[in-house]
Amino acid sequence: MVKQYLKDDSYDLPLDFAYPAFSWGVVFSNGHYDRLLHDTDFLLHQEEESAIMKKGENRYKVKRDINSLKLYSSDEIRYEHGDPKEIKKVKSLIKKLYGDEAHSSIIYHLDEKELSRYTNQQIQQIYE
């Protein structure tokens, strides 16, 4: 998807590249988008309380109401996150298209919780 936005044309201004470090749940109620759930600790309810059942890769169904998260029985959640493997692929593509031109690498939406989802090596690879 990223490739369509990158061009091998010269651009007069230096470019910086931002890589995502995020996770959230996309909540659907009655089959329609409801909201983003920024607290991805909803996954804890899957194991601890059996209130959430895994339906497939990154997809969950709420089995019992979880009032603290405002999740209700039959809601569905699609878990999304910045994948270090995908970030590395994009970083390689950028290097291929732009070479070693001076630019900055930025990780956005970075906080302690999100940072803990990445190894030091994965973070280093983004900045190399």
Blockwise average pLDDT, block size 10, the chain, 128 residues: 66 78 88 85 65 90 88 92 87 82 75 72 74
| Per-residue pLDDT, 60 | 92
Which pTM value belongs to this model? 0.67
| Per-residue pLDDT, 128 | 63
Task: Measure the CA–CA gap between 31 and 11, rounded to whole angstroms.
Answer: 43
State CA 29 to chain mean position distance. 21
| Per-residue pLDDT, 10 | 63
| Per-residue pLDDT, 33 | 93
Task: Measure the CA–CA gap between 127 and 1, rounded to whole angstroms.
Answer: 22
